[in-house]
């Protein structure tokens, strides 16, 4: 059995830091898209989750997600408080790095996933209700999904489904949960009458850049080693993002005559999301296809599907992450190759039979059912104890004032 490899350990720890940086990047990405009276609340939604999800992960999350298996659905509490998780490797997960390094890396995924959901309910959900939702949602949805997909004995893992870095576990679950949550919460005041304008598009571009940078840790770090597989995942990640960026600009050029900065930033994010489940399983050329195709799919969801169905997904979480990673999971079933990664025991559809595609579709379906159903129940239960939505007056005044008593852009009078 191989021992601790310092190069692998260093790469996983650096990747952990990169993934953590994605959550502040998400805060800027989301914060720039809302109105200026809601920017602090929107950004604080991500930052508050950084604290809450971190403590939950140490206390019970890692054990429930990766601990000894119960029925292929959840882990037990054997490792609660990270008891017994130390410097020795866990050969079932990562044989060349300390088990603690693996726990650190996975913690960053548990942080950003619920933070993604906050974009759908931006500008109208109570801050306290968001934190309560995150606490319960992590236990009911995220930890079981992580165990089923990645945990030793996990049902979807044993089924043969592939998810290299969190397509189902992170993006589909967050996207579907965001859709259900925003529908149950209701539309923003004046939704459909006026169209809110992003207050700071440079913030959006900064956030997209930080997400692109951090995503190399997200995907390449999921190799859990510093070797060839990490390099491959790094390149497929960048290639898909680049292809989706160009594809989105082309779509806007065709339909709107001009490419926009907001559209370019959105293209980057959907390209990164789509390649996430496939990054370490598909050939590099397939990353071009995945990135190029995801932009029209997400653009259709944002521009037509949302308008047709009338839901108020404020920052298009479902259109970007839900639709984008459903395509990414299907694309994994198409293009996965054992020549890229020996862990691919069933070849993708274009290389072999349809067995992998069946597993991928089942995994996507289970993710949609658990995330959607779990979110529905959680939101209804929260509603029994408190109104999760701010009042119309608080919404009009802005959540920065009503939830935090602050202003992002106060008058300079008296402040010089």
In a domain, 416, yes or no: no
| CA-based torsion, 26, 31, 34, 40: positive or negative | positive
DSSP reduced 3-state for 337: coil
What does the alpha-carbon distance between residue 363 and residue 148 come to, in Å, rounded to a whole number? 9
Q: By residue range, what is the domain housing residue 269?
A: 6-404
Structure tokens at 240: 């898909």
Q: What is the pLDDT of residues 193-215, one digit of tens each?
A: 777 889 999 999 999 999 999 99
What does the alpha-carbon distance between residue 295 and residue 299 come to, in Å, rounded to a whole number? 6
pTM over 0.85: yes
pLDDT of residue 410: 83
Instruction: Look at 2 and 175; give whichever has higher pLDDT.
Output: 175
In a domain, 414, yes or no: no
What does the alpha-carbon distance between residue 132 and residue 379 come to, in Å, rounded to a whole number? 10
DSSP reduced 3-state for 105: helix
pLDDT of residue 195: 75
From the list 204, 22, 188, 199, the residue with the least C-alpha distance to 121 is 188
pLDDT exceeds cutoff 70 at 414: no
Task: Give residues with Cβ within 8 angstroms of 1, minimum separation 6.
Answer: 91, 95
pLDDT of residue 93: 97
In a domain, 123, yes or no: yes
User: What's the mean pLDDT in 361-379?
Assistant: 98
Q: Provide DSSP, 357-412.
A: HHHHHHHHHHHHHHHHHHHHHHHHHHHHHS--BPPHHHHHH-HHHHHHS--SS---
In a domain, 281, yes or no: yes
What does the alpha-carbon distance between residue 72 and residue 363 come to, in Å, rounded to a whole number? 13
What CATH number should be reported for the domain holding residue 172? 1.10.3430.10
pLDDT of residue 413: 52
Give the burial string for 39-66 (b: 16+ CB within 10 Å, else e).
Answer: bbbbbbbbebbbebbbebbbebbbbbbb
Q: What count of Cα atoms within 13 Å lies in the side-chain half-sphere of residue 134?
A: 30
What does the alpha-carbon distance between residue 74 and residue 60 come to, in Å, rounded to a whole number? 12
From the list 74, 15, 54, the residue with the least C-alpha distance to 280 is 15
pLDDT exceeds cutoff 70 at 1: no
Number of domains in the chain: 1
What does the alpha-carbon distance between residue 233 and residue 275 come to, in Å, rounded to a whole number? 9
Write down the H helix ranges in 221-335. 228-256, 261-275, 284-300, 306-309, 317, 323-335
pLDDT of residue 196: 80
What is the overall mean pLDDT for the chain? 96
In a domain, 265, yes or no: yes
In a domain, 411, yes or no: no
pLDDT exceeds cutoff 90 at 411: no
In a domain, 1, yes or no: no
| CA-based torsion, 250, 252, 254, 257: positive or negative | negative
Ranking 69-83, 119-133, 178-192 by mean pLDDT, the lowest is 178-192
User: What's the mean pLDDT in 170-177?
Assistant: 98
Instruction: Look at 25 and 353; give whichever has higher pLDDT.
Output: 25
- pLDDT band of residue 190 (cuts 50, 70, 90) is confident
pLDDT exceeds cutoff 60 at 253: yes
Structure tokens at 55: 């403590």
What does the alpha-carbon distance between residue 314 and residue 151 come to, in Å, rounded to a whole number? 33
What does the alpha-carbon distance between residue 172 and residue 370 come to, in Å, rounded to a whole number? 11
In a domain, 415, yes or no: no
pLDDT of residue 416: 41
């Amino acid at each position: 059995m191989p021992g601790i490899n310092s190069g692998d350990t260093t790469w996983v720890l650096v990747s952990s830091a990169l993934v953590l940086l994605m959550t502040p990047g998400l805060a800027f990405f989301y914060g720039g898209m809302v109105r200026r009276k809601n920017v602090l609340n929107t950004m604080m939604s991500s930052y508050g989750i950084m604290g809450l999800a971190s403590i939950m992960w140490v206390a019970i999350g890692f054990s429930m997600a990766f601990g000894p298996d119960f029925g292929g659905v959840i882990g037990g509490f054997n490792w609660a408080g990270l008891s017994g998780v130390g410097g020795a490797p866990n050969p079932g997960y990562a044989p060349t790095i300390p088990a603690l390094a693996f726990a650190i890396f996975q913690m960053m995924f548990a942080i950003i996933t619920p933070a993604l959901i906050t974009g759908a309910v931006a500008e109208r959900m109570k801050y306290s209700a968001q934190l309560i939702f995150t606490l319960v949602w992590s236990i009911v949805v995220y930890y079981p999904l992580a165990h089923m997909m990645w945990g030793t004995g996990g049902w979807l893992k044993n089924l043969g489904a592939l998810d290299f870095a969190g397509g189902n576990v992170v993006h589909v679950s967050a996207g579907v949960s965001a859709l259900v949550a925003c529908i149950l919460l209701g539309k923003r005041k004046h939704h459909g009458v006026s169209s809110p304008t992003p207050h700071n598009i440079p913030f959006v571009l900064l956030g997209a850049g930080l997400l692109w940078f951090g995503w190399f840790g997200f995907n390449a770090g999921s190799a859990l080693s510093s070797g060839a597989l990490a390099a491959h995942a790094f390149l497929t990640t960048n290639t898909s993002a680049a292809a989706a960026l160009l594809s989105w600009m082309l779509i806007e050029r065709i339909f709107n005559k001009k490419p926009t900065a907001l559209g370019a930033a959105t293209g980057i994010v959907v390209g990164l999301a789509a390649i996430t489940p496939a990054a370490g399983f598909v050939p590099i050329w397939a990353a071009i296809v995945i990135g190029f195709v995801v932009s029209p799919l997400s653009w259709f969801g944002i521009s037509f599907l949302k308008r047709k169905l009338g839901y108020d997904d404020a920052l298009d979480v479902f259109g970007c992450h839900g639709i984008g990673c459903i395509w990414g999971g299907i694309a994994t079933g198409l293009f996965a190759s054992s020549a890229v990664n020996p862990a691919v025991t069933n070849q993708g559809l274009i290389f072999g039979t349809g067995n992998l595609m069946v597993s991928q579709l089942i995994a996507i379906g289970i993710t949609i059912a658990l995330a959607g159903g779990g979110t529905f129940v959680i939101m209804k239960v929260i509603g029994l104890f408190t109104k999760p939505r701010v009042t119309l007056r608080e919404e009009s005044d802005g959540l920065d004032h009503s939830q935090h008593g602050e202003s992002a852009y106060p008058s300079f009078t008296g402040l010089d």
